[in-house]
């Protein structure tokens, strides 16, 4: 079957005309270039036309059900599997109307209602359509009025149908310090499952985002591309069910050990699945998704981020007031704007001097910080820096006063030896006392005067998922209720501290999703800060997440030249994790230059459009550029990974007619100036002929600003 015919290439006029249901039996949900078409078939069941096909001529089959239910004739992977209050394991939903509500000029909310005629059971397929961005947020709401609880065995957020030919899937696997490795494969008959079963820090081994190209391999600038990202920080499952003539993509919480007993009159809302469409490759897809994210996906998306200095790589657990305060003056001199105090500042009965003890006891350590946190924060502010603090509210060391007081507050299995990770356990956030405890911890820490930034860490996942609170009948609720309680806590935090910037951290990319990011400003993509590794990692995260959400700190990982490390960090949300007192003068000068360059370009890199130019995986170099929304400025990054020729790099997205002055930012000491330095070229010339960078040797970088004439 040939993919992507006319229906995906609609003109704006066609979009306007088609924004209402066509006839009584067909529902057409549209963004600018994407059509989701549903049809009510025989017996009232709801069907979906596989995305991008003109299947009017084809007869609807059970395989085409829009949200298939188990137990009444559907034989492939179902979206919904329910045990009703009377024990019946079948569900048969029929169409029960649609509600369409405009939310803004380019935004519509659609709810397709379904009900089971034999049971007081209903589901609503919910879609928020962002028309101009080609973004669809999709989720499902399930509700019933049966005489007792029903059990949801499976409850997908989305179960999109695609045609089967030439579908390529790119997903991202990894582990701690080795996150976001892409793998691309063609979908073939059978079911391909990507999932996580570890509940907390759930993305340690794979990110809940993927790319699909629908007509064979796509590139940055060509191909029909659908990207999906599940806004969920817990165990997830994507099942790509390829059965002959269709591919169904089932996305949602992982049904593994997660049967959910839904009481009458309560609504179960699944997590939101975010879909983005592009008919022009991965680049356009990312720009659309980033545009959505700046507005809806994370906090303060229009506010470029400051320069941060963290002490973790510099001091580890080994510090006191004077050691930390001693970092402020050199930081300020260098141009740093915000200081982040990491792990190790708390615990008295069991001081947190390493990762074996003290977690859970959140009083400042009296030896290290005799007067508490406030004087240190005040000292930072006196020196002209903002002050931030590390916390890990969900966790506890068994060697802590908290665990001694409340051994039943942790997630564990009775009769089993405690399994520790990094010497710690997760607190059971489904328990109300734990919710209150964690809130009090967060509130007290963030209320310390002058604290305006926090890093929320999470350094283990779940392996013994037992809750003393949930009791014998609801153990399987833990996976879902934990994440819901977590979001309630994050929401409370964001609302109570609207001016406090928040970094989401989970030992790296263990929590990199739009479910949690909604309450945060940025996330920590990896503990691996080797800039060579970061070039590829940040590239891969950038498919889904804007540069300003990717915390990138300059460290000594990999022992790379400082100039290269700074350039890589400058292409995202710049920070440093260095002992400035020990930094050689030459490196200090490079850092100072990078900081001032970052301040100059951050409005472009953070608020502009990203163009990925040359993929770094296995290549000599990687290159990308950002363009300001008004196209008056652009910044080109070239990261040389292996020795090569200084071949021109061709920026994209410039205004062809305008003239841009070329200028290298923070040039590396000792390298010749760019051949085009200081000269002016039209956007068309630059996009055609490129800019010749100053780098050709391995681990050299070049950052070039293009500034349009007024």
Both tokens of residue 428? 């059971």
Chain positions 510 to 529 lying near ligand DGJ, rule: CB under 6 A, are 524, 527
Cα separation, 516 vs 234, in Å, equals 10
Judged on CB neighbours under 10 Å (0-12, 13-18, 19+), 644 is middle
Among 508, 546, 653, 690, binds ligand DGJ (CB under 6 A): 508
Phi, psi dihedrals of residue 494, rounded to the nearest 5°: -60, -40
Cross-sheet strand order for the sheet of 659-665 = 609-614, 621-627, 633-640, 700-708, 659-665, 680-682
Which residue lies nearer to ligand DGJ by CB, 252 or 507? 507
Stretch that binds ligand DGJ, among 80-88, 92-100, 503-511, 604-612 (CB under 6 A): 503-511
- Is residue 457 flagged as an active site residue? yes
Stretch that binds ligand DGJ, among 95-103, 246-254, 258-266, 502-510 (CB under 6 A): 502-510
CB of 392 to ligand DGJ, least distance (A): 7
Which residue lies nearer to ligand DGJ by CB, 390 or 539? 390
CB of 524 to ligand DGJ, least distance (A): 6
Query: What does the buried/exposed string (b/e) look like for 540-579 if buried means 16 or more CB atoms within 10 Å of the residue's CB?
Result: bbbbbbbbbbbbbbbbbbeebbbbbbbbbbbbbbbbbbbb
Cα separation, 330 vs 332, in Å, equals 5
Cα separation, 318 vs 579, in Å, equals 12
Binding-site size for ligand DGJ (CB under 6 A) equals 11
Among 507, 546, 616, 693, binds ligand DGJ (CB under 6 A): 507
How far is CA 200 from each of CA 426, 445, 482, 577, rounded to the nearest angstrom?
9, 23, 8, 26
Which residue in 157, 252, 236 sits closest to 196, CA to CA?
A: 236
Stretch that binds ligand DGJ, among 87-95, 374-382, 505-513, 679-687 (CB under 6 A): 505-513
Q: Is 388 in the site for ligand DGJ (CB under 6 A)?
A: no
Q: Is 459 in the site for ligand DGJ (CB under 6 A)?
A: yes
Which residue lies nearer to ligand DGJ by CB, 177 or 494? 177
Among 343, 428, 609, 705, binds ligand DGJ (CB under 6 A): 343
Which residue lies nearer to ligand DGJ by CB, 388 or 507? 507
Among 275, 362, 390, 523, binds ligand DGJ (CB under 6 A): 390
How far is CA 636 from each of CA 35, 335, 430, 570, 611, rounded to the nearest angstrom?
35, 23, 47, 11, 9
Which residue lies nearer to ligand DGJ by CB, 507 or 608? 507
CB of 548 to ligand DGJ, least distance (A): 19
Which residue lies nearer to ligand DGJ by CB, 327 or 636? 327
Which residue lies nearer to ligand DGJ by CB, 507 or 690? 507
CA angle 478, 483, 488 (to 5 degrees): 125
Catalytic hit among 134, 428, 457, 513: 457
- With helix as H, strand as E and coil as C, how does 417-472 read? CCCCECCEEEECCCCHHHHHHHHHHHHHHHCCCCEEEEEECCCCCCCCCCCCCCCC
Chain positions 672 to 691 lying near ligand DGJ, rule: CB under 6 A, are none
- Is residue 655 flagged as an active site residue? no
CB of 390 to ligand DGJ, least distance (A): 6
Angle at which helices 531-541 and 562-570 cross, to 10°: 10
Strands 272-278, 135-144: parallel, antiparallel or unpaired by DSSP? antiparallel
Chain positions 280 to 339 lying near ligand DGJ, rule: CB under 6 A, are 312
- Decide: 308 and 277 in contact? Cβ < 8 Å: no
Cα separation, 590 vs 554, in Å, equals 12
Q: Is 700 in the site for ligand DGJ (CB under 6 A)?
A: no
CB of 342 to ligand DGJ, least distance (A): 5
CB of 505 to ligand DGJ, least distance (A): 5
Phi, psi dihedrals of residue 193, rounded to the nearest 5°: -115, 130
Among 457, 513, 705, 707, binds ligand DGJ (CB under 6 A): 457
CB of 313 to ligand DGJ, least distance (A): 8
Which residue lies nearer to ligand DGJ by CB, 459 or 501? 459
Stretch that binds ligand DGJ, among 210-218, 324-332, 365-373, 500-508 (CB under 6 A): 500-508
CB of 311 to ligand DGJ, least distance (A): 10
Which residue lies nearer to ligand DGJ by CB, 236 or 312? 312
- Decide: 659 and 680 in contact? Cβ < 8 Å: yes
Which residue lies nearer to ligand DGJ by CB, 513 or 664? 513
Q: Which residues contact 61 (CB under 8 A, 6 or more apart)?
A: none
Which residue in 90, 40, 31 sits closest to 60, CA to CA?
A: 40
Q: Is 530 in the site for ligand DGJ (CB under 6 A)?
A: no
Cα separation, 504 vs 406, in Å, equals 27
Q: Is 505 in the site for ligand DGJ (CB under 6 A)?
A: yes
Which residue lies nearer to ligand DGJ by CB, 452 or 555? 555
Stretch that binds ligand DGJ, among 275-283, 504-512, 534-542, 608-616 (CB under 6 A): 504-512
Radius of gyration of the chain (CA): 26
- Decide: 131 and 108 in contact? Cβ < 8 Å: yes
CB of 586 to ligand DGJ, least distance (A): 27
Q: Is 342 in the site for ligand DGJ (CB under 6 A)?
A: yes
Both tokens of residue 587? 């490196």
Cα separation, 469 vs 692, in Å, equals 63
CB of 522 to ligand DGJ, least distance (A): 13
Stretch that binds ligand DGJ, among 7-15, 269-277, 501-509, 608-616 (CB under 6 A): 501-509
| Residue with the CB atom nearest ligand DGJ in the bound state | 343
CB of 508 to ligand DGJ, least distance (A): 6
Chain positions 574 to 633 lying near ligand DGJ, rule: CB under 6 A, are none
User: Given 3-state DSSP classes, what are the helix, strand and coil percentages for the chain, each rounded to the nearest 5?
Assistant: 25, 30, 45
- Decide: 271 and 293 in contact? Cβ < 8 Å: no
Catalytic hit among 64, 343, 481, 527: 527
The residues carrying an active-site annotation are 457, 527
Residues that bind ligand DGJ (CB under 6 A): 312, 342-343, 390, 457, 459, 505, 507-508, 524, 527
């Amino acid at each position: 079957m040939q993919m992507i015919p006319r229906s995906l290439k609609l003109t704006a006029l066609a979009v306007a005309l088609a924004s209402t249901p066509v006839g009584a039996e067909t529902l057409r949900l549209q963004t600018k270039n994407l059509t989701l078409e549903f049809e009510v078939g025989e017996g009232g069941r709801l069907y979906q036309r596989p995305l991008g096909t003109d299947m009017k001529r084809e007869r609807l089959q059970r395989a085409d059900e829009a949200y298939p239910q188990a137990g009444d004739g559907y034989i492939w992977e179902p979206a919904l599997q329910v045990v009703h209050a009377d024990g019946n394991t079948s569900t048969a939903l029929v169409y029960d109307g649609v509600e369409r509500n405009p939310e803004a000029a380019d935004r519509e909310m659609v709810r397709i209602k379904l009900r089971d005629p034999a049971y007081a059971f209903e589901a609503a397929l919910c879609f928020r359509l962002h028309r101009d961005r080609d973004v669809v947020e999709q989720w499902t709401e399930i509700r019933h009025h049966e005489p007792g609880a029903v059990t949801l065995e499976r409850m997908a957020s989305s179960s999109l149908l695609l045609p089967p030919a030439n579908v390529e899937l790119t997903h991202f696997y990894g582990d701690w310090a080795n996150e976001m490795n892409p793998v691309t494969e063609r979908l073939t008959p059978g079911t391909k499952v990507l999932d996580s079963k570890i509940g907390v820090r759930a993305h340690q081994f794979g990110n809940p985002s993927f790319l699909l190209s629908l007509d064979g391999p796509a590139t940055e600038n060509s191909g029909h591309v659908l990207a999906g990202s599940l806004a969920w920080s817990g165990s997830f499952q994507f099942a790509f069910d390829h059965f002959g003539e269709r591919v169904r993509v089932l996305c949602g919480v992982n049904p593994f050990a997660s049967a959910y007993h839904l009481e009458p009159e309560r609504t179960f809302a699944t997590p939101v699945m975010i879909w983005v469409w592009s008919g022009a490759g991965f680049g356009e897809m990312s720009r659309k998704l980033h545009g959505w994210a700046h507005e809806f996906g994370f906090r303060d998306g229009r506010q470029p981020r400051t320069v941060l200095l963290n002490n973790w790589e510099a001091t580890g657990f080994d510090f006191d007031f004077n050691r930390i305060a001693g970092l402020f003056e050199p930081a300020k001199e260098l141009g740093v704007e915000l200081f982040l105090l990491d792990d190790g500042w708390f615990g008295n009965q069991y001081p947190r001097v390493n990762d074996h003890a003290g977690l859970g006891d959140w009083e400042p350590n009296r030896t290290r910080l005799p007067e508490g946190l406030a004087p240190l924060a005040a000292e930072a502010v006196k020196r002209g820096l903002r002050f931030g603090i590390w916390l890990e509210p969900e966790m506890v060391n068994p060697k802590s006063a908290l665990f001694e007081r409340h051994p039943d507050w942790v997630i564990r299995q009775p009769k089993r030896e405690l399994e520790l990770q990094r010497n710690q356990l997760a607190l059971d956030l489904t328990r109300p006392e734990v919710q209150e405890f964690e809130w009090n911890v967060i509130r007290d820490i963030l209320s310390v005067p002058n604290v305006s930034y926090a890093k929320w860490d999470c350094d283990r996942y779940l392996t013994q998922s037992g809750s003393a609170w949930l009791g014998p009948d609801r153990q399987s609720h833990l996976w879902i209720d934990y994440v819901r309680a977590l979001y309630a806590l994050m929401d409370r935090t964001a609302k109570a501290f609207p001016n406090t910037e928040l970094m989401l951290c989970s030992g790296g990319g263990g929590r990199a999703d739009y479910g949690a990011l909604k309450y945060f400003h940025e996330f920590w993509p990896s503990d691996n800060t080797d800039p060579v590794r970061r070039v590829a990692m940040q590239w891969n995260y950038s498919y889904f997440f804007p540069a300003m959400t990717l915390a990138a700190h300059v460290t000594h990982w990999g022992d790379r030249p400082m100039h290269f490390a700074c350039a890589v960090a400058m292409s995202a949300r710049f920070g440093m994790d260095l002992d400035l007192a020990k930094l050689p003068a030459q490196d200090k000068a490079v850092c100072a230059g990078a900081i001032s360059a970052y301040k100059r370009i951050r409005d472009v890199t953070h608020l502009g459009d990203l163009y990925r130019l040359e993929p770094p995986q296995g290549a000599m170099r990687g290159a990308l550029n950002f363009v300001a929304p008004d196209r008056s400025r652009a910044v080109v990054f070239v990261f040389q990974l292996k020795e090569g020729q200084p071949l021109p790099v061709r920026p994209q997205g410039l205004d062809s007619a305008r003239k841009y002055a070329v200028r290298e930012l923070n040039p590396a000491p000792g390298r010749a100036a760019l051949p085009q330095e200081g000269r002016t070229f039209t956007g068309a010339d630059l996009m055609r002929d490129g800019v010749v960078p100053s780098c050709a040797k391995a681990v050299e970088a070049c950052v070039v600003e293009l500034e349009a004439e007024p």
